[in-house]
Amino acid sequence: MSTIFKGMAGAAVLLAASAMSVSAQDYTWTLQNFKFGDYEDAQTQELLGLESDSTASGTLVLSKTIGGYALKSFNFTTTIDSLGGTGFAATYNSSINSLIGTDLFPAPAFDTHIEMAGEETGVLGGVEFRFRLSWEFGDLASQMEANSGAGNLNALVALDGLASYEYDLDTNYYRYNDDSRSFSNLAVGYPGNLRLSSVQTVSTPEPASLALLGTGLLGIFAARRRKAA
């Protein structure tokens, strides 16, 4: 009886421990004020046309992890220039295509950029496009650290127009969101920014507690085998 009681008491403690959780936070960034400025051949760097009203919009969600941040989702779309610029539009949705690139080791992920794989809007299959958003080193992480907890929404991170772009793999064409690479002084730059639009606290089971629960269940099983013997 004593053995059974001890096993039950131990199980209660372990189950309580397993219910413990750690709080994590998801940060949603919304892309705004983003327009493409120029359109060029990636090989010759020949300017093929200026973008007048093609844009990009969408959201990026990062989750805080030990030592940095992890990608949870992204969902961006780019539009066609109505006056005959690029002639393509693409969708970047992590639920459809989750391929990404970010900072190389040893730099923490998402310290300077994210580059996503996408599909041409209305066309199924095939990785045809790359969309890259870049910012000053550490700016995104700094704002997430500063806005942990309840957070101060609407924090802005300016995008780097020298390094934010969309690339069409089929035609080898780039379009940038800044006029700094353009051969025309008439180009107008719209680097845009990422706005912190949501900070959500989520609970996840603590790994140590789950391991403790497993150990306790093994102990109860062993106690029952001894009693049966």
pTM: 0.76
Question: In degrees rounded to 5, what are phi and psi of residue 37?
Answer: -105, -40
User: Residue 195: what pLDDT?
Assistant: 95
Q: Which two tokens stand for residue 200?
A: 């959500």
Q: Which of 10-19, 55-64, 123-132, 157-166 has the lowest mean pLDDT?
A: 10-19
pLDDT of residue 102: 95
The secondary element (H helix, E strand) that includes residue 12 is helix 2-18
* Weakest-pLDDT range from 79-88, 142-151, 177-186: 177-186
Per-residue pLDDT tens digits for 188-222:
456 789 999 999 887 655 554 444 444 443 444 44
Six-digit token string for 81: 């220039």
Domain edges within the chain: 1-20+206-229, 21-204
What is the average pLDDT score of the chain? 76
Q: Which residues contact 136 (CB under 8 A, 6 or more apart)?
A: 112, 158, 160
Q: Say which amino acid occupies 218.
A: L
State the Cα–Cα distance between residues 132 and 89, nearest whole angstrom: 14
Which of 186, 189, 159, 156 has the alpha carbon at shortest distance from 175?
A: 189
Query: Which amino acid, residue 79?
Result: T
Does residue 184 surpass a pLDDT of 60?
Answer: no
pLDDT greater than 60 at residue 50:
yes
Non-local (6+) Cβ contacts of 66 within 8 A are: none
3-state secondary structure of 158: strand
Of 58, 39, 57, which Cα lies nearest the Cα of 49? 39
Q: Which residue has the higher pLDDT, 37 or 225?
A: 37
